[in-house]
Amino acid sequence: MAEKICCVCHRPLNPDETRTLGGRTYCAQHYAKATQDRPGLWRAGLGMIVGQLVFVLLVEVLVGVFKPTFSGWMLDAVGLFLALSAALIWLIFFYQQDRLEPEPKGYILGVFILGALLAQGVGIPLEEDVFGVGRWLSLSPLGGLLGAILIVGFLEESLKYFAVRYSVYALPEFDERIDGVIYGTTAGLGYATALNLHYIITTGGVNLQAGVIRIVVTALAQASFAGLTGYFLGRAKFEDEPVWWLPAGVTLAAVLNGVFTTLHGELTTPALNLAGGGFNPWPGLALAAIVAGGTFGLLYYLMRRANRLTLAGADKQGGEA
* Statement: residue 305 has pLDDT above 50: yes
Contacts of residue 6, Cβ cutoff 8 Å, sequence gap at least 6:
13, 25, 26, 27, 30
Which one has a higher pLDDT value, 69 or 100? 69
Instruction: Give the three-state DSSP class for 21.
Output: strand
Instruction: Kindly calculate the radius of gyration of the chain based on its CA atoms and give it in whole angstroms.
Output: 21
* Other Cβ atoms within 10 Å of 17 Cβ, number: 14
The domains of the chain, with CATH numbers, are: 1-35 (3.30.60), 38-303 (no CATH)
Q: How far is residue 255 CA from its own chain's centroid? A: 15
User: Which residue intervals of the chain are DSSP H helices?
Assistant: 28-34, 39-66, 73-97, 105-118, 124-125, 133-136, 141-147, 154-165, 179-203, 208-238, 245-268, 282-320
Buried b (16+ CB within 10 A) or exposed e, 161-173: bbbbbebbbeeee
Looking at residue 240, what is its pLDDT?
A: 83
Looking at residue 23, what is its pLDDT?
A: 62
What angle do the packed helices 154-165 and 179-203 form, to 10 degrees? 130
- 127 and 153 Cβ atoms separated by less than 8 Å: no
- 43 and 52 Cβ atoms separated by less than 8 Å: no
Q: pLDDT of 190-199, one tens digit each?
A: 999 999 999 9
* Other Cβ atoms within 10 Å of 114 Cβ, number: 22
Contacts of residue 218, Cβ cutoff 8 Å, sequence gap at least 6:
86, 192, 195, 196
CA–CA gap between residue 19 and residue 17 (Å, rounded)? 6
Task: Kindly state the average pLDDT of the residues 28-49.
Answer: 72
Q: Whole-prediction pTM value?
A: 0.88
Q: pLDDT of 158-186, one tens digit each?
A: 999 999 999 999 998 888 888 899 899 99
Looking at residue 193, what is its pLDDT?
A: 95
Contacts of residue 52, Cβ cutoff 8 Å, sequence gap at least 6:
86, 89, 216, 219, 220, 289
Q: pLDDT of 220-250, one tens digit each?
A: 999 999 999 999 999 998 888 899 999 999 9
Contacts of residue 222, Cβ cutoff 8 Å, sequence gap at least 6:
156, 160, 188, 189, 191, 192, 195
Task: Kindly state the average pLDDT of the residues 295-308.
Answer: 86
